[in-house]
Structure 1
Amino acid sequence: MASNQGQSRRRQSQQDLGDKTPSRKGKKPLPEPTHIGHFFVILVLKICRMILFIDTSVKIGVYLMGVMVGSVICDLFKVPNSYFSDKRNVFNQYFVKLGWGWTIVLLGTYVALTSWVYCHGRWLAVRRHLMRLVVATIQWYVCVNVFRQIENVVGMCTATEHTNRDDCIADGKGWLGFDISGHVFLLMHNLLTISEEVKTYKDWRKLGVMLEDEDLESKRKVSAQEIAETKKLYKELTPYIKAVFVAIAFLSVIWEFMLLMSVVYRFHTLPQKVTAAFVAIMCWFVSYRLFYRSDVEWLPCPPGKTKLEYMKIE
């Protein structure tokens, strides 16, 4: 009898202890440990976002101020020669001289992939986004050739028998003219174009979350087929988009560094560099702040324009 009572007390005691134990019901499970490779990818993308997502207006102010201050310092003080003061350095020969080619390849790939996703794989819509790069290419080609024409018209050779720049230089003489810095223009043109185009990745995660919304069809006036196609493309192409995004960030760092080198060394005078910078800014303003705002279907549209409206278009 006593034994039964003891067992009953022990069971009661265990039950009381169980009642006092904090309940774990309703608590979220702990997340699984992050793989080192996944952590590295997150870190790299975070750094790239910090590099590329600085507001374009802020970048313009920094670049313009850098060109002015750097040029003044260059004119007042002789900057010690280095590897980068030689125009034949590797970065100048294989990156800057081919600068628009590098930019157009990476940006073209990026714009094609991202717009293919948020335009539901519709070529006509994607084409409007790619046309922005065609406009940027035309701007680069026209401006560089106009710079050469200006130098030819206003310049003169140290030998009076030559009236053409190419003939003058071929004869070993010096040509004195207003040589607007093609390097400064090209590098700023590259950087400002990149800054505008990569904005479509800023809310890329938001697009992924939006595609899971069951009411998206009624909210954005898109068909179920378009949503399904976009979800499929988003899943398939996002890894490639991330890779290109990282490559563009790396290229932007190179362009900013080479812009600094072009400013601090005596390749051009202060007015020539500042003029080139203002021309690059004018090209950016005319295209991204005026021309691309048109609603005409066969003209280029702003980056990220889509029926999904997943990002704010400035």
Structure 2
Amino acid sequence: MSKRRPLRPTAGSGQPSSSNMNFRPGGPDITRAEARGTRPTAAPTSIREILVMGVIHLCKKTIFFNTDLKVALYLGSLFIISLIGDFLPFPKTYFARSDNLFNLYFVKVGWGWTLLFAVPFAVLSAYTITCGDMKRMLRHHFPRIVIATFFWFFWTKLFNIVETSYGRCTTKGFQSKSSCLKAGHLWQGFDISGHAFILIHSSLVLIEEARPIIKWETIKEHLRNELHNRSVSEKSSSNPLRNLNDDQIRSLQFLYTRLTPIIRTLFIGMAGLQLLWDIMLVGTMLYYHRMIEKVISGIIAILTWYFTYRFWYPTNGLLPEAPGNGLFYYQRENFPIRRPTHLHTSMPSGSSQSSASGQKANPNGSGQWSANRLSTQPTQQQQQQIPTFMGMPLFTNAKAATAAASLLQAEKLKREQQQAGVDS
């Protein structure tokens, strides 16, 4: 067999041939016409990488369950299950014991476990998407953890003050909670559930702080495409990294490669911890505190989450920023799609007739504008048909995504036309 012929042989330059390359080399000396078809492809994926991505995908499904629905389930469960438990005590299990393993070593120090995973994850992910800008990371992202810790400390202390100030000992002669408990008696007060608050507050903080992992893998694709664009002196209008300078690109590439394995490991730990908090919350609903005490603590935890992560942080101009915000934005929900005009030949006749009638009814040109708009603006159905794998789009290039979505749409229209012919 003969050797592969080089795609772009060097002509008398004395330089070695590039026959071992599977695409034309880029560089400043390559014209735009020569560079066509040289888009770099992704490196082969190892079995280990596939397994890791499978675990990450499962963790995403667990921790990013519809947050609004989860909040509603928290409140509804606190009310219904706790109300039933007040009148019909549930059968005692291992979780009913206050000295059970999970209660002693996890719930009682629950905020410590939350910080153990949330702090390094927030720092490393923010440091990466700010391209190594330590000051920006500390100013725009780290304060979220400080604020969450402040609210945890404030509310738990307030709960303790309320119980101590508005309670009484079961035996007369003891005016303080400490003296009553030391004497072996019980203190009866309005004990707002600190456990329910910590568990819900920790779960919601973990969910929000883990959001940078959404579409994290696309950063690698954006880096590869942006480096290629710069090597052939081509400017991209859609790559989110296009506004970064060369130093920031190099820093992002280095940090993403080095820190991504650690970030993934921390995310898996966050997902497992959040699931444990939900399980322990069920135990709290079943066996501890009265219904009103748990519902109030749950409402306070949810209002704290809503005020910070849904109202404060997303507001422009107010620090800190929301999780996932950096020097570039990589978490686009949909890719820009344009339907090629030649696909109108495969549209049903009724659609073309309606477009034509629309043009006749609007002689001032509005009908033509509507027809053009139909040919360029993506429909919601078309966006949903972009091929995905594990929740990630298979294409990061807008043209490739457009072609794939258009082919799917054309095939669906063809099947509908065939089905309509059979029915008639």
Q: Which amino acid aligns with 1:56?
A: T
- CA shift for structure 1 position 33: 9.1
Structure 1 unaligned blocks of 5 or more: 1-30
Structure 2 residue aligned with 1:88: 99
Unaligned runs of 5+ residues in structure 2 are 1-42, 230-234, 334-424
| Map of 1:301 onto structure 2 | 321
Greater relative CO (CA pairs within 8 A, separation 6+): 1
Q: 1:79 to 1:216 in 2, by over 3 A?
A: farther
Render the CA deviation track for 1:165-213: whole Å, top value 9, x for unaligned: 1211111122111100000000000000011111111111222222233
One-letter code aligned to 1:204:
W
Corresponding position of 1:310: 330
- 2:123 is the alignment partner of 1:115: no
8 Å CA contact 1:216, 1:222 repeated in 2? no
> For residues 39 and 80 of structure 1, what CA distance do their matches in structure 2 show?
44
Partner of 1:24: none
Shift in alpha-carbon separation, 1:284–1:53, aligned structure 2, 3 A: same
> What is the match of residue 289 of structure 1?
310
TM-score where L is the length of structure 1: 0.84
Q: 1:125 to 1:32 in 2, by over 3 A?
A: closer
Partner of 1:136: 148
Q: What SS does the corresponding residue of 1:176 show, helix, strand or coil?
A: strand
The one of 216, 222, 244 aligned to 1:210: 222
Structure 2 counterpart of 1:271: 292
* Counterpart selection for 2:262 from 229, 240, 243: 240
CA shift for structure 1 position 294? 4.6
Which residue identity lines up with residue 111 of structure 1 in the other structure? A
CA–CA separation in structure 2 for the residues paired with 1:106 and 1:67:
26
Matches within 5 A, 1:185-224: 185-212=197-224, 213=226, 214=229, 215=235, 220-224=242-246
User: Alignment length, in residue pairs?
Assistant: 282
Distance 2:50 2:324 in 1: 28
3-state DSSP of counterpart to 2:325: coil
Shift of 1:296: 4.7
Deviations 1:199-240 (A, max 9, x none): 111111222222233346986532121122112211111111
Query: In percent, how many aligned pairs have the same letter?
Result: 31
CA distance in structure 2 between the partners assigned to 1:90 and 1:45 by the alignment: 28
Instruction: Give the superposed CA RMSD.
Output: 2.4
Cα offset, 1:98, TM superposition: 0.9
Separation of aligned partners in 2, 1:59 and 1:293: 20
> Which whole-Å CA distance do the structure 2 matches of 1:41 and 1:205 have between them?
12
Conserved in 1, the CA contact under 8 Å of 2:164 and 2:176?
Answer: yes
2:131–2:327 Cα contact (<8 Å) kept: no
Q: Distance in 2 between matches of 1:248 and 1:209?
A: 25
Structure 1 residues 230, 72: closer, same or farther in 2, change over 3 A?
same
8 Å CA contact 1:120–1:226 kept in 2: the answer is yes
Please say if residues 53 and 202 of structure 1, whose CA atoms lie closer than 8 Å, have aligned partners that are also in contact. Answer: no
Normalising to structure 2: TM-score of the pair? 0.63
